Amino acid sequence: MRSGRNWHPERLFFLENSRLELHATNQSSFRLQRTLEELGAHFVENEFFLTSRKIFEEWASRQKSYLMENFYREQRKRLDILMENGKPVGGEWNFDKENRLPPPKEYDWPEYQVFERDEIDFEVAKELGITPTNTWATTRKGALAQLKWFITKHYAKFGPYEDAMVLESWSLHHSVISPYINNGLLHPQEVIAAAVEAFDSGAIPIESAEGFIRQIIGWREYINGMYW
């Protein structure tokens, strides 16, 4: 397998197949968006996010300053997440002040999920000139397993130690699912559904549920909107 990554393979493909009509989602980077525009692509909304560019622009047009907290509260109401009778569950919008505990001494951080590599993984790693690790899933099944691993083993303690850093653990109680949401192996809606379901069961404290959900419907959506 010869690599074409230094030769802009998308350009080579459409030069060879110039009669094909190209359809694509709105891209996550200016460079790729520009490249596809030059190739005459027809764009549809990117479903990797819960907030369309139009919705974000409508929110931004009403703001004097673009505060993430204001956007996040609007998201909570618009998506009806952790809301009860029009008010935030727990009586507060944000429990960030409870998400700054220092790491406890002599604490056993749970192990992170590991994944078996298959023939395709090894072939891709060889092509890229890297050594494959067992840290990341490369399939939808693996991404779902990582989400379940987080919900059952880490979610409850995510909030209090969200900002902690220790030498003995690189992932602490974090979800380690960002790559899967970004590449489409997981959809943010199903991640939120799993998080809310676990909270509703009574197994998850509000500071962990709110803190995690804020990262998905708040920060991730806000940064994407501000980028564009």
Domains and CATH numbers, the chain: 5-44 (no CATH), 53-227 (1.25.40.80)
Report whether 225 contacts 56 (CB < 8 A).
yes
59, amino acid identity: W
Backbone angles phi, psi at 193, to 5 degrees: -60, -45
Report whether 221 contacts 49 (CB < 8 A).
yes
Short-list 21, 66, 60, CA closest to 39: 21
User: What's this model's pTM, rounded to 2 decimal places?
Assistant: 0.85
Residues constituting the chain: 228
Give residue 4's pLDDT. Answer: 47
Three state DSSP letters for the chain: CCCCHHHCHHHHHHHHCCCCCCEEECCCCHHHHHHHHHCCCEEECCCCCCCCHHHHHHHHHCCCCCCHHHHHHHHHHHHCCCEECCEEHHHCCCCHHHCCCCCCCCCCCCCCCCCCCCHHHHHHHHHHCCCCCCCCCCCHHHHHHHHHHHHHHCHHHHCCCCCCCCCCCCCCCCCCCHHHHHHCCCCHHHHHHHHHHHHHCCCCCHHHHHHHHHHHHHHHHHHHHHHC
Give residue 175's pLDDT. Answer: 97
Give residue 2's pLDDT. Answer: 47
Give residue 151's pLDDT. Answer: 98
Give residue 112's pLDDT. Answer: 85
Q: How far apart are CA 57 and CA 228, in angstroms?
A: 9
Profile the chain (228 residues) by mean pLDDT over runs of 10 residues: 52 61 85 87 90 95 96 98 97 93 88 92 94 94 98 96 91 96 97 98 97 98 92
